[in-house]
Every structure is written in structure tokens, then in C-alpha cells.
């Protein structure tokens, strides 16, 4: 149907979005936009247009570019040329052997503190936070541990400059403390002199994320709390990712040195590029004997769990995955034949616990050689894996996605709905729901059943006028195109170019349908879907047009 976009009055093809809103292509005045909500956290992720997993993050330093100070130890003044072409850098004039600071930083697990710096008459800067220390050489571009046990210290030349560096130190600590900084000379001595500094940041994770300016409150970047997730997992055309609430029970999903058991291995944090596109993977190398990395978690008898992690082999053999609930082993097998040395593989395994135990084991053991790992996740009450939920010291819950619109355009005595969708799981998923203000008394629901059939449910005036299952036509992670048209006396339903239902029945939606839920539920989302497009036509299209629309 060549003129589908022209004749439809409401068109959702995932493209424009902002926090709390998914834009519709039609109408163009914003009246057809969808309200989107997920919750108050930033634990959701998606696959972005570059093919990398994108997270949410926050800069939690208050007054991130305020270093002003004037006392007997330091005179720090603003208005200097910065790394970013602005005049927002600070000249730090050290007058005595002392620190200057950013105060009352709240550390919550694995966090990275970063700032931009340039040499003046001094070319070293010493950093101390929470008992961990590092020193940065602003002439040679090197970083070194200078005390304690920081996870990592990194210095990177800012692109487009020859003398500005971003300096970062990563630590694992939960405390409120001050960030202390002290310029030094090339012999690491406390002498008077100058450096330049700009834009401090504190974010969770093993690496520094793109800088976000703060004044009186933290500022978030990446995937925000209520931002629709336009997911590019399947290529260049995004789909709207909608998932149920899930919790990652693993408290350290990327920092594997914090796992319970580490026998006969060495770990190298921030080894190479992860599925996130940043250098925050972990290299695990066997040192002989029975090499093991393990995390212990509580499980409950009868509950289902899905364990997943990203892995890329280097040269390891006999990589054995083992899950044990203290009553039964669910998997004890080598997995290296299922993973690649060139690309990342997400390995998943689902089981139902036969025991209640506080220390069920999830481990990789018995290997020789090395492999990379990133993004470990254990989801409870889960028969399949959902998108990655990062954790940095505590378990984290991602709230369910909710995408809906209340729109008078839907108030029609004859109409056609078209949906192109991919069910991520088909355990009685509602693919879409159209409803009236009266809730379930007037509604149209497409439901994907576990046996692969689609249930079409239509209620009008509180009565079910159609409740029919359509064959085995849908499967997990497979795109399907659906269309339903109705008139005052007929309902027809089409799947992938085939007319499946044609029934004469009185159709009277009063009060009229005016609510549309793309996640398939008026309340909390229990479904997992990728919505590719939705079109609403204020008329009953011809059979030929519906067949054309739904042909794969």
C-alpha cells in the first residue's frame, strides 16, 4: 500500500524521542505523541545506532566546574582557555605545600573520578580520594598508582589538543569523602607553581563517561529515567524496546575482582573494548591449577533464574560454566565452542532452582589461557534474558517500560490498526491494547500466546464480541505484521499477508476507544516486545490494502 503514511492519521515509526516522550510521525503538531515512563532510575540500556550497548549515567559532583579558591595556599581563578574551546578553565596558582579539593563527594561502589588538566609551570598532579591515590604526568601523558589500591588510573590526551589531558582514577568504596588534588613538579615535589584544570566528574563505572556540567544537582546523560529505548539490535532501523521490570542480582556486573572466589587467576580491569564500546572489559587469565571465578547468590526453590554474561575468547580452552543450587548442578559443560575470539557473545542459561540456598554458585572454572568478560547478570523470576542492567556495588532494578497515548483520533466507528512487532518472549504477551476511558469494557487486544498462536480479543459495551485464537503464527524474536479492521458490522484480522478472521458482528464502542498502549497493558508492563511501527487509519481499509500492509 504505497500511500499508507499519507492516509493514516496516527503513525508511530520509532525516530524522534526525548525523556518522557516518544514522538509520532503523524500528526506533526505533537498531538499524537506517546507518553513514556519507566521509573526514577537510570539502569536501562539499549543497543545504539553504532551497535554498542548504551547506558544511563550521572555526574554527581555538585558545581562540577567550580574550583574557585583564594587563601594562603591557593589562588584559583577562572577565565582561561579550556580544552573545549571555551574560556571556562581555571588557573591553579599553588602558593604553599597543601591540597585543594572538591568536598563531600558521595561514593557508592565502583566509581570513576575525572577532570581535565594542563601543565603550567608545574606538570604533575597528585590525586587522593578515599585512601586511594594516583599521580598524573601532564607532560608525558602517563598515570601511575601513588598509594592505596585504586582499580585503575588513566590519562588520555584530549582530541584536537596537544596539551590538555583527561585524568581519571577508579576506586571501589562507599563513603562520603573529599577529592584532594595537589600540583607537583617533574620530581614529584611540593613546590609553588601553576597548572590548569577544568570540568570534574564523578560517575559510577570503571571508566569516565562523557562530561556533564552540574551546578546545584547531579546531571544525567545517556539513557535517562523515562527515555524511550530506540534499539538498533537488528540493524539500521530502530525498534522501540519494551521490557518488564527486572532485577540484576549480581552486585558487581563489570568489576569481577569483587566476586566471591578467584582461584588461580589474574584479572586485568579496563583491558579492552567491551560491548559498550569503551575500554572496560576484564581479562581473566589462568595461572595454573583449577582456575575459577565465582559469585555466590541466594536462590529460592521453584523460582526461575536466567544467568547471562558477555564473553570473548582470547586463547582459553576448557572454559567450563557451572551452576549449582547446593542440591543439583544445572549446567556443567565447556562453552568455548559457543563463543568467538573476534566478537562478543552473550551467553545465557536459564534454570529453575530445586533448593532454597543462600550461596548458590555461578562460576566459570577449569580453563587454561585467557578470555574477556563483561556485563554479568542474574535475573530472578526470569525464563529468558532481558537487556543488560549494570551494577556497581548493589543489585539494581530496571522498572518496566510503559508507552501510551490518549488520543481523540482513535474515536472512530470504522477503523484499521496496523502493527509491526517482534515478541521477545511469547508467554501470553499482549502485543498492543486499544481501549476506552472505561478500561476493559471497551478494548481491542492482540495477544501472543506461548504456543505461537495470536489471541484477538474485542470487547464492546462490556461484552466480548470476539475472542479467537489464530494458528501458530508468531514465534520468539521473529517479526510479525498484524492488521485489524472493523466497521459497525464486521471485524477482520490479518497476519503476514493472510486474512485469518472475518466475522460479522455488531461493533459499538461507546464510550469510544481513545487509549492506545504500545506495551500491551494499561498498567505495569509484563511483556517484552520490539515495536517497529504502528499505523492507525480512520477507516476500514480494503482487504487488498490490509494484505499489502501485512505482507512480510
The pLDDT value given to residue 496: 96
Least confident segment among 112-121, 301-310, 348-357, 433-442: 433-442
Q: Which pLDDT tens digit goes with each residue over 420-441?
A: 999 998 877 889 999 986 567 8
Which residue(s) pair with 501 in the sheet? 493
At 476, phi and psi to the nearest 5?
-65, 135
User: Is residue 332 pLDDT above 70, yes or no?
Assistant: yes
Rounded CA-CA distance 110/99 in Å is 24
User: Is residue 523 pLDDT above 60, yes or no?
Assistant: no
User: Is residue 401 pLDDT above 70, yes or no?
Assistant: yes
User: Is residue 123 pLDDT above 60, yes or no?
Assistant: yes
Coil, strand or helix: which one is 427?
coil
At 544, phi and psi to the nearest 5?
-60, -40
Report whether 374 contacts 276 (CB < 8 A): yes
Cell numbers 488520543 label which residue?
407
Residues 6+ apart with CB under 8 A from 427: 383, 450
The pLDDT value given to residue 438: 57
Report whether 16 contacts 222 (CB < 8 A): no
The pLDDT value given to residue 39: 81
Nearest residue to 535 via CA among 548, 522, 526 = 548
The pLDDT value given to residue 61: 97
Report whether 537 contacts 8 (CB < 8 A): yes
Residues 6+ apart with CB under 8 A from 1: 541, 545, 548, 549
At 257, phi and psi to the nearest 5?
-70, -15
Q: Which pLDDT tens digit goes with each residue over 467-505?
A: 999 998 899 999 999 999 999 999 999 999 999 999 999
Rounded CA-CA distance 342/348 in Å is 19
Rounded CA-CA distance 436/420 in Å is 22
- HEC states along 70-107? ECCCEEEEEEECCCCCCCCEEEEEECCCCCEEEEEEEE
pTM exceeds 0.85 for this model:
yes
Rounded CA-CA distance 514/524 in Å is 19
Between the alpha carbon of residue 490 and those of residues 147, 417, 432, 497, 545, the distances in Å are 77, 14, 20, 19, 16
Residue 519 banded pLDDT, cuts 50, 70, 90:
confident
Average pLDDT over the chain, rounded to whole? 95
User: Is residue 524 pLDDT above 70, yes or no?
Assistant: no
Rounded CA-CA distance 110/172 in Å is 4
Q: Percent helix, strand and coil across the chain, each rounded to 5?
A: 5, 50, 45
Report whether 515 contacts 443 (CB < 8 A): no
In CATH terms, is domain 246-398 a member of 2.60.120.260? yes
Sheet holding 320-324, edge to edge: 261-263, 292-299, 357-365, 320-324, 329-334
Residue 77 banded pLDDT, cuts 50, 70, 90:
very high
The pLDDT value given to residue 526: 67
Determine the CATH number of domain 4-48+401-550: 2.60.120.200
Percent of the chain at pLDDT above 70?
Answer: 98
Rounded CA-CA distance 131/227 in Å is 37
Please give the radius of gyration of the chain, using alpha carbons only, rounded to the nearest integer. Answer: 28
Rounded CA-CA distance 136/144 in Å is 7
Q: Delimit the CATH 2.60.120.200 region(s) of the chain.
A: 4-48+401-550
Rounded CA-CA distance 131/111 in Å is 14
User: Is residue 142 pLDDT above 60, yes or no?
Assistant: yes
The helix (run of H) or strand (run of E) holding residue 152 is: strand 152-157
In CATH terms, is domain 69-220 a member of 2.20.200? no
The pLDDT value given to residue 41: 81
The pLDDT value given to residue 439: 64
- What average pLDDT does range 402-408 have in this prediction? 92
Cell numbers 475472542 label which residue?
467
User: Is residue 2 pLDDT above 70, yes or no?
Assistant: no
Nearest residue to 211 via CA among 201, 219, 198, 220 = 201
Q: Which pLDDT tens digit goes with each residue over 244-267?
A: 999 999 999 999 999 999 999 999
Q: Which pLDDT tens digit goes with each residue over 185-232?
A: 999 999 999 999 999 999 999 999 999 999 999 999 999 999 999 999
Residue 525 banded pLDDT, cuts 50, 70, 90:
low
Cis peptide before 511 (omega within 30 of 0): yes
Amino acid at each position: 500500500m504505497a500511500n499508507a503514511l499519507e492516509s493514516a492519521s496516527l503513525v508511530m515509526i520509532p525516530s524522534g524521542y526525548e525523556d518522557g516522550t516518544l514522538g509520532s510521525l503523524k500528526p506533526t503538531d505533537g498531538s499524537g505523541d506517546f507518553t513514556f515512563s519507566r521509573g526514577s532510575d537510570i539502569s536501562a540500556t539499549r543497543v545504539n545506532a553504532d551497535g554498542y550497548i548504551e547506558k544511563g549515567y550521572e555526574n554527581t559532583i555538585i558545581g562540577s566546574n567550580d574550583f574557585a579558591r583564594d587563601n594562603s595556599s591557593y589562588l584559583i581563578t577562572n577565565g582561561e582557555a579550556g580544552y573545549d574551546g571555551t574560556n571556562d578553565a581555571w588557573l591553579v596558582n599553588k602558593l604553599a605545600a597543601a591540597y585543594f579539593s572538591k568536598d563531600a563527594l558521595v561514593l557508592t561502589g565502583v566509581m570513576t573520578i575525572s577532570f581535565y588538566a594542563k601543565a603550567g609551570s608545574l606538570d604533575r598532579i597528585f590525586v587522593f580520594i578515599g585512601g586511594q591515590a594516583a599521580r598524573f604526568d601532564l607532560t608525558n601523558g602517563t598515570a601511575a598508582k601513588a598509594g592505596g589500591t585504586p582499580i585503575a588510573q588513566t590519562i588520555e590526551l584530549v582530541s584536537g589538543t596537544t596539551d590538555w589531558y583527561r585524568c581519571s582514577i577508579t576506586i571501589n568504596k562507599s563513603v562520603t569523602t573529599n577529592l584532594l588534588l595537589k600540583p607537583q613538579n617533574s620530581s614529584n615535589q611540593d613546590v609553588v607553581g601553576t597548572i590548569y584544570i577544568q570540568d570534574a566528574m564523578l560517575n559510577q563505572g570503571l571508566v569516565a563517561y562523557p562530561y556533564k556540567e552540574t551546578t546545584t544537582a547531579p546531571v544525567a546523560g545517556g539513557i535517562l529515567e523515562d527515555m524511550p529505548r530506540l534499539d538498533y539490535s537488528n540493524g539500521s532501523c530502530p525498534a522501540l524496546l519494551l521490557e518488564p521490570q527486572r532485577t540484576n542480582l549480581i552486585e558487581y556486573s563489570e568489576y569481577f575482582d569483587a566476586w566471591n572466589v578467584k582461584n588461580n587467576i589474574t584479572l586485568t580491569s579496563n583491558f579492552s573494548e567491551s560491548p559498550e564500546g569503551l575500554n572496560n572489559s576484564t581479562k581473566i587469565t589462568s595461572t595454573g591449577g583449577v582456575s575459577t571465578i565465582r559469585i555466590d547468590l541466594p536462590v529460592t526453590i521453584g523460582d526461575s533464574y536466567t544467568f547471562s554474561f558477555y564473553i570473548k575468547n582470547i586463547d582459553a580452552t576448557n572454559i567450563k560454566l557451572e551452576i549449582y543450587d547446593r542440591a543439583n548442578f544445572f549446567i556443567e559443560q565447556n562453552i568455548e565452542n559457543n563463543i568467538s575470539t573476534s566478537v562478543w557473545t552473550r551467553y545465557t542459561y536459564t534454570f529453575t532452582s530445586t533448593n532454597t540456598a543462600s550461596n548458590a554458585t555461578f562460576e566459570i572454572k577449569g580453563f587454561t589461557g585467557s578470555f574477556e568478560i563483561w556485563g554479568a547478570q542474574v535475573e530472578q523470576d526470569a525464563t529468558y534474558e532481558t537487556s543488560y542492567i549494570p551494577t556497581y556495588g548493589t543489585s539494581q532494578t530496571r522498572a518496566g517500560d510503559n508507552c501510551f497515548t490518549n488520543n481523540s483520533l482513535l474515536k472512530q466507528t470504522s477503523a484499521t490498526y496496523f502493527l509491526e512487532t517482534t515478541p521477545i518472549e511469547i508467554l501470553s504477551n499482549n502485543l498492543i491494547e486499544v481501549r476506552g476511558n472505561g478500561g476493559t469494557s471497551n478494548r481491542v487486544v492482540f495477544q501472543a500466546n506461548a504456543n505461537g498462536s495470536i489471541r484477538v480479543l474485542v470487547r464492546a459495551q462490556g461484552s466480548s464480541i470476539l475472542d479467537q485464537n489464530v494458528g501458530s503464527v508468531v514465534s520468539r524474536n521473529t517479526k510479525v505484521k498484524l492488521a485489524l479492521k472493523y466497521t459497525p458490522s464486521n471485524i477482520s484480522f490479518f497476519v503476514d499477508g493472510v486474512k485469518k478472521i472475518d466475522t460479522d458482528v455488531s461493533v459499538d464502542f461507546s464510550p469510544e476507544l481513545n487509549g492506545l498502549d504500545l506495551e500491551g497493558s494499561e498498567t505495569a508492563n509484563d511483556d517484552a516486545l520490539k515495536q517497529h511501527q504502528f499505523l492507525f487509519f480512520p477507516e476500514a481499509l480494503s482487504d487488498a490494502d490490509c494484505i499489502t500492509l501485512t505482507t512480510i
